[in-house]
Structure 1
Amino acid sequence: MKFLLQRIAFYLFTAWAAITINFFIPRLIPGDPVTSLINKFQGQMSTEAIDSLYVLFGLDKDASVWSQYVDYWGQVFRGDLGLSFTFFPTPVSDILGQSLPWTIALVGITTFASFVIGTGLGVLAGWRRGSWLDGLLPVTTFLSSIPYFWLGLIAITLLAGQGSFFPSSGGYEPGLVPSWNSEFIGSAVQHSLLPAVTILISSVSGWILSMRNMMVTVASEDYITVAHAKGLSERRVMVSYAARNALLPNVSGFALSLGFIVGGTLLVEIVFSYPGIGYNLFQAVGAKDYPLMQGVFLVITISVLVANLIADIAYLLLDPRTRKEG
């Protein structure tokens, strides 16, 4: 319990530091976000309107930095992340609320599926060294070295195009209104197939390789020999003794993967013009949309911290030594 409380305190401190850094980002960049917005409208704004924008975006020159900082924390707690320049005057929270489900549905499902499939195949490959499955390691190593977006470009070139079942871009067929009906859901699934397959192929190979290597290391431990000497079944030794201990390092990797779900496949969403949060970040950078960039960075940071906290809890459940230390 002490271990868990220490980790929670650490993550709370890290969250405070991340939000503080996020507050200073637009204030450290040369110029300021309001100037960029004024340039977007070609300077056709009155002095009163410009002063109102400074107040609106929390950059009031008459207010101290401390008061702006306190106001920013109040906005974060209220879920108010400001207004987007790219989609002005739409609030950043609304934009993120629309794009997050797309990214979570695509990357969340593929990340979980790749972890389960890759870990399972890695356990078998490491436990049964020399089998045909173990012989596929060179292929998995090659696939794990290929970036998501490169596989995406290859998939578009070979499988997408005129008359193809696989769309090359977008999240659903143009003209459809997002809703929970069969036509829209079918279109969304169809548009997600190619990006999902590219993510799955590239990421599952890494899980196979890492889990296989850990299984080989664990298989030579003394407690595995003792388990065999007790007459336990091969399956029980593999799952309950070898795989359970070999899985621990992969838990951290999986937690980081969960944390980066919201922005880790930025290039995949760009390649497929998929309406997720990564594509929003790409648009924000191109338009110098500081409030949207801040919002995306904040969501990614919180996601990573929450995912790592989940990993620590998983460690407590999987590793008795951690509980004894706590």
Structure 2
Amino acid sequence: MSNWLLKRIGQSILTVVVVFHLTFVLVRLMPSDPVQAMFTQMMAENPDNPEQARQLVELYVSINPQDPLYIQYIDYMAALLQGDLGYSMAENASVNQVLAEAVPWTIFYMSVAMAITFVTSICIGAIMAYYEGTKFDTAMTVVAVIESSTPYYVVALLLLFVFSYQLGWFPTSARYPGGADIGLNAEFVLGAFYHAALPIFSMVVTGAAASLEMRGNSISVLGSDHIRVARLRGLPPMRIALRYVMRNALLPLYTGLLLLVGFMIGGSIVLEEIFNYRGMGWYMFEGVNNRDYPLMVGGFMVICFTVVIMMFIADLTYSKIDPRAKTSGDNMEVYGSSAGVPLRTQLKRYIQRLTSSNEPRADGGTTPHALFGDDDAASVSRKDVMYRKFDRSVYAPAKIVLSDWRGLVGTVLTMSFIFMGVFGPQFTHSPTATFDSWVSPLDGNLAHPLGTSNTGIDILSLVVNGTTPVLIMVATGAIVTVSLGVAVGTAAGFRGGALDRALMTICDIVVSIPGLPLIIVIAAIIEPRHPALIGIVLSVAAWGGLGRAIRSEVLKVRSQEYVEASRAMGVGTFAIVLKDILPNIWPYVLINLANHGRNIIFSSVALYYLGFLPRSTQNWGVLLDQAESSNALYSIGQVHYILAPMLVIILFSMGLILIAQALDRISNPRIRARHAKSVDDDEPR
């Protein structure tokens, strides 16, 4: 254990070091080089004294702008090791002072939101699992699906509209009452909770959807053999629930919530800008917006430290929560190569098994082998092969999905948006055509069912024409993210050893870099305009966490008896992964495909809303920003302008999530056999 602990500490240190280097390089590659821009500004203020301008820049960022890049890097890292993060021009104060004053406020409301989310998700999810199929389970599932389909910034805008602008119950800015004395007194503490109430509630409402994951984990554990044995032994139900069910079902949720810390803190850049809450996210927004280089890098580093520490805690407590997940270095043996067979030979054997009717055995003989049932492969016509492939790969899964109300509703919603994005622009007004301004949907004007904007543009045409770019971003980003995550996580979890440590270090680096600010920096460097390229950019910081999660699932599957039996028979790595590993983690992959599709929607809309992505196309994020800029958030008569993009975001996300939940049943061979037309005699029904 001590050897593993030293390696894990070294990996964490390496992650931090690499993150610092990447952050420095990425920010320095931004257009309008911030250091050079600062030097130009100082020269404008001191045109006759370039030496003084150089000294001022060096004072602010610990970098001489006239030195080569590698000298600037060395000087900056030397200052960083001394704890000097530079001087913020935008705030006219040291970065250390700005962040030291801002970070506690972000940690304050985020920690409260995380604690409430964690407790409510565990309790509600466990209760839903125990009362599976009841009205309570159905009602809470619907609520959780709606919550998970709603971005936190949409909830924030709605809360701001209702409770601040309309009812006036909560403030629209500040962190504590202006006249309160700062300290541990009732007025200050209660005032801080009062001002942070809406940001906290925004995170809790959307974060409580994790109860669905807890429900699924609990249902899976309740069907395990050791739970049935515990009941037969007469153990008390409370002991079974707490010690055996909750402890085993908690692991994926616990790890996911710890990794969610980085996402939540990175997402504070949007939340704090909406509420004008001067935490770390607000200052990061100002730093990125003003190209304040020291403030940006300082914010990146604080988030990186936080995420690395939380992941380290997750690894340390992994085996304490679930003994099956062994984190000791002695148990991380290398899988897939124990037979001493090179990967090239394993791949060759796998191809031979697919194309040959006889499979070689270890004793030199052969075993009849067929792809489908007991029939001789040679006697199966190409037509029968294609029919069975279509039946099992397309017909049966489609029938399973459509037989579930969640799959039916999700398919209708998703196909509606696909149809709207492909054909809708042909049946709506031009997004540049103008009519009467501020026509309300309540007026019953069928020509403008969603009303018009402040400039008289039909809102329905804006929504429809903004759908196509969103579809392209979602498809590209989700596929790239899941493909990378599954490939890395499967390789690391199955092979183990040095490959596992190397790949998980890369995942830690990807996860540790603040996602939203990193995407902003990359977008500023390459200025992506095509929706497909934007989808790829949005996936850059998203696959690391999925890779770690897939690794966790593979670690459980690879210790099963059938995997050990395949290895003992000399089955190659590729065959084991394709036939034994991937089919058993398929539901988890499908759920993550929908979740990351939803995340692409959330991230793209947020970045367009903040103005960090080039507005080369009309989409829902641009529409949301235009609605707020036209003061639609302040009046009931104009709020329909901002509600329209919110509604389509929620409905599209809901469709993806419902489809993923219905697809979860495909992995069950009995359900698949009941819906397929071509079933072998020995296949379970």
Q: Would the TM-score normalized by the shorter structure come out above 0.5?
A: yes
1:135-284 correspondence to structure 2 within 5 Å: 135=138, 136-161=140-165, 164-174=168-178, 176=180, 178-205=182-209, 207-284=210-287
- Other-structure match for 2:315: 312
- Other-structure match for 1:94: 97
For each residue in 1:220-246, what CA deviation from the matched residue of structure 2 results, as whole angstroms up to 9, or x when unmatched? 111111111111111211211111111
Give the Å deviation of 1:92: 0.6
- 1:270–1:278 Cα contact (<8 Å) kept: yes
Amino acid at match of 2:137: D
Task: Classify 1:107/1:229 alpha carbon distance in 2 versus 1 (closer, same or farther; 3 Å).
Answer: same
For each residue in 1:130-170, what CA deviation from the matched residue of structure 2 results, as whole angstroms up to 9, or x when unmatched? 23431210111111211111111111111113773311222
- Determine which structure has more spread, i.e. the larger CA radius of gyration: 2
Task: Classify 1:65/1:40 alpha carbon distance in 2 versus 1 (closer, same or farther; 3 Å).
Answer: closer
Alpha-carbon RMSD across the aligned residues, in angstroms, is 2.2
Give the Å deviation of 1:42: 8.5
Structure-1 separation of matches of 2:68 and 2:29: 15
Structure-2 separation of matches of 1:31 and 1:72: 19
Give the Å deviation of 1:291: 0.9
For each residue in 1:66-120, what CA deviation from the matched residue of structure 2 results, as whole angstroms up to 9, or x when unmatched? 44434333322322111112112x1111111111111011011111211111111
- Other-structure match for 2:30: 29
Give the Å deviation of 1:14: 1.1
Task: Classify 1:76/1:96 alpha carbon distance in 2 versus 1 (closer, same or farther; 3 Å).
Answer: same
Q: Which moved more, 1:71-80 or 1:278-287?
A: 71-80
Amino acid at match of 1:287: N
Task: Classify 1:31/1:143 alpha carbon distance in 2 versus 1 (closer, same or farther; 3 Å).
Answer: closer
Q: Which moved more, 1:207-216 or 1:40-49?
A: 40-49
Please give the TM-score of this superposition, normalised by the length of structure 1.
0.91
3-state DSSP of counterpart to 1:232: coil
Amino acid at match of 2:33: D
Please give the TM-score of this superposition, normalised by the length of structure 2.
0.45
- Other-structure match for 2:83: 79
Task: Classify 1:61/1:170 alpha carbon distance in 2 versus 1 (closer, same or farther; 3 Å).
Answer: closer
Amino acid at match of 1:7: R
Amino acid at match of 2:160: I
Q: Which moved more, 1:44-53 or 1:151-160?
A: 44-53
- 1:148–1:267 Cα contact (<8 Å) kept: no
Structure-2 separation of matches of 1:40 and 1:177: 39
Query: Unaligned stretches of 5+ in structure 2?
Result: 333-685
Structure-2 separation of matches of 1:5 and 1:128: 44
Greater relative CO (CA pairs within 8 A, separation 6+):
1
Give the Å deviation of 1:193: 1.1
- Other-structure match for 2:62: 58
- 2:102–2:279 Cα contact (<8 Å) kept: yes
- Other-structure match for 1:47: 50
Q: 2:303 aligns with which of 290, 300, 304?
A: 300
- Other-structure match for 1:19: 20
Structure-2 separation of matches of 1:256 and 1:82: 29
Give the Å deviation of 1:63: 4.5
Q: Which moved more, 1:132-141 or 1:211-220?
A: 132-141
Give the Å deviation of 1:199: 1.2
3-state DSSP of counterpart to 1:167: coil
Structure-2 separation of matches of 1:198 and 1:132: 27
Amino acid at match of 1:127: Y
Task: Classify 1:218/1:279 alpha carbon distance in 2 versus 1 (closer, same or farther; 3 Å).
Answer: same
Give the Å deviation of 1:177: 5.8
